[in-house]
Amino acid sequence: MKRATRTNLILIGVVAALGVAVYWQVHREVARFEPPLSALDPATIRQVRVACLQCVARRFERIDGHWMMREPFNLPADDAQVARLLSIATSPVRSRRAFASLNAEKIGLDPALVSLDLDSMHFDIGTTDAFNGDSYVHVGDKIAMVPDRFSPFLIAAPASELDRHLVPRGSVLASLKIDGIEQPQLIETWNVALADRISVRGDTSPSDGNPAVELQLADGERVVFQFIRNGAATVARRDEPALDYLLSPEQATALLGDVDASVQ
């Protein structure tokens, strides 16, 4: 057997052994876990509320299989983002102990740093244990030690949890005007347009001279955007609610069609 072949076989054997060792380590770790945080089925949950000491409260409602954000915005939500919140209900639990056995104030549960309501079930989430990386989660009369894989989801900016389509999901775009001129040939492009991300608009007001787009939806709602250059990208600035939809230059050009896209 050639030396190179023998070396490759040895390396393959080492990798396989490491893989088996990792598998058994994970299997052993999981086997030590207690039952999940709750018996809730994420597929049946219809209401989600999140409140934080240091973040904006949010409320979501499931309608016809999709999620709507009701607070602080009344707009379609990103289903995948809400699904991350739902997954907390079935988080693995390393251990449980009586609520009265711990100092709730010291572990961020009096008051709770974050509270999560999934339908009628309430969860209070406190600090994270520095040793194991477990969050203290108060459910009923117990405190569960839960591997912290969800903190970023709980404190997310509300705008980041919105559906990124410029035309609200489920809406029918009846007409489209750019600077007051009908542009029916762009309706289909707008129907599928998806922003890279959404953020809350700053205090600055849109200036004159930038292309203004008016969307008239079939249900009578009117949505207005103004296109503003923001460095290498372009922002479609929504009038109400005050949100910025970040677009690539190519996407902005496609959405404006033949209109002069030299936004400032």
Burial level of 187, CB count in 10 A (0-12/13-18/19+)? middle
What is the rounded CA–CA span in Å between residue 15 and residue 196? 39
Cα–Cα distance list, 184 to 85, 106, 166, 253 (Å): 39, 60, 16, 16
Quote the CA–CA distance of 205 and 127 in Å, as a whole number.
39
Residue 209: what pLDDT? Answer: 74
- Find residue 238's DSSP bridge partners: 225, 243
Decide if 262 is inside a domain. no
How many structural domains does the chain have? 2
189 and 148 within one domain:
no
Please give the pLDDT value at position 204.
57
Question: Does 121 share its domain with 176?
Answer: no
Q: Which of 144, 159, 174 is the last residue of a domain?
A: 159
Q: What is the mean pLDDT of residues 63-91?
A: 97
Give yes or no: residues 117 and 203 share one domain.
Answer: no
pLDDT above 70 (res 1): no
Among 55, 255, 263, residue whose Cα is nearest residue 166 = 255
pLDDT tens track for 166-224: 999 999 999 999 999 999 999 999 999 999 999 998 765 556 678 999 999 999 999 99
**What are the angstrom distances between the C-alpha of 102 and each of 55, 107, 110, 123?**
26, 8, 11, 17
47 and 154 share one domain = yes
Q: Is the pLDDT of residue 245 over 80?
A: yes
156-172 pLDDT per residue, tens = 999 999 999 999 999 99
Do 153 and 61 lie in one domain? The reply is yes
Whether 54 has a pLDDT exceeding 50, the answer reads yes
130, 185: one domain:
no
Q: Is residue 4 part of a domain?
A: no
Give me the pLDDT at residue 259, please: 67
Place of tokens 């040939």: 185
Q: Are residues 127 and 228 in the same domain?
A: no
Q: Which pair of structure tokens corresponds to residue 14?
A: 């080492």
> Are 149 and 46 in a shared domain?
yes
In the chain, pLDDT over 70 holds for what percent of residues?
A: 82
How many whole angstroms separate alpha carbon 234 and alpha carbon 247?
Answer: 5
In the predicted model, what is the mean pLDDT of residues 59-63? 98
Q: Is 51 left (phi over 0), alpha (psi -120 to 50) or beta?
A: beta
| Overall average pLDDT of the 137-141 stretch | 96
* Domain shared by 155 and 178, yes or no: no
Indicate the residue among 124, 159, 194 that finishes a domain: 159
Q: Residue 95: its pLDDT value, please?
A: 96
Tell me the pLDDT of the chain averaged across its residues. Answer: 87
Q: What is the chain's length?
A: 264
**Residue 34 within a domain:** no
- Average the pLDDT over 38-49 and give the result: 97
Whether residues 115 and 56 fall in one domain: yes
Residue range(s) defining the domain that contains residue 153: 42-159
Domain boundary among 159, 182, 211: 159
- Do 111 and 203 belong to one domain? no
Place 19 in a pLDDT band, splitting at 50, 70 and 90.
very low
In this structure, are 93 and 187 located in the same domain? no
The yes-or-no verdict on residue 230 having pLDDT over 60 is: yes
Angle at 235 between CA 171 and CA 83, to 5 degrees: 55
Radius of gyration of the chain (CA): 25
Q: Is the pLDDT of residue 232 over 90?
A: no
